Amino acid sequence: MILYLLYYKKFDDIEEIFGKVDAIKIRDSLIGSNYILSKITAKFTETIINKNQVEKLLGIRSDKINFWEFYNCYPIKVGSRILRASGPTSQLALKHEKKYLLRVKTTEAHLYAIQCIETFVAKKKQGGDLKYLPNMETVMNNSMWELWGALIEDSGTEGQEWNSDQI
C-alpha cells in the first residue's frame, strides 16, 4: 500500500495512515529492494521509486489507453442480436476490457485498433452486412482488429485494370 501511495506522491495520506515514524521505517525496509532506489539518508518526500517495478507489481499502466474509445466503435445491437455490453460496469464489459488491455500494450496499437474497427464497421454498414458482424467476445478472443487492418492499408491499385502493365 505504501508503494501505491509513494507512486502517486500522496504523502499526506501516508502520514495519516502510517504516521511519520512508521512510514519512514517501512520505506527504509524497502530500500535495497527492486522498488525503492533512494538511499536511507534521503528525505521521505524525496523518495525515488523504481517506477517500472512498482507499475508491474501493482498493475498500473503508465499509458493512457481508454478501452471505451475502442469499445464504443462497435455497435451494441444489430436487429435482435446483442453484440456487446452496453454499460461499463457489467461483468462482460470488464472481461472484454481485461482481454483488450492484455493484448494492446501501447497507445499506437490502441489507435490502430480503433481505426481498424471503425473501418470494418463502416465497410459492413456500407455493404448492408451489419447483421453478419461477429460478437464482441469473438472479436476479443481472436484480436480481429489485427485482421481488419488490411482494410485500412492503402495498396493504391484500386480501380486499375488487372492487365494494364506495359512490358
> 71: domain range?
67-151
pLDDT digits (tens, 9 = 90+) for 105-117: 888 899 999 999 9
Rounded Cα–Cα distance for residues 128 and 96 (Å)? 26
Decide if 166 is inside a domain.
no
pLDDT (average), residues 1-28 = 86
Asked whether residue 76 falls in the same domain as residue 45, the answer is: no
Asked whether residue 14 falls in the same domain as residue 86, the answer is: no
For the whole model, what pTM was predicted? Answer: 0.58
Residue in 19, 18, 44, 12 with CA at minimum distance from that of residue 31:
44
Place of cell 500522496: 10
pLDDT digits (tens, 9 = 90+) for 65-95: 888 889 999 999 999 999 999 888 889 999 9
As for how many domains the chain has, the answer is 2
Asked whether residue 14 falls in the same domain as residue 40, the answer is: yes
Ramachandran bin of 41, using left for φ above 0, alpha for ψ from -120 to 50, beta for the remaining angles: alpha
Decide if 18 is inside a domain.
yes
More confident site: 31 or 61: 31
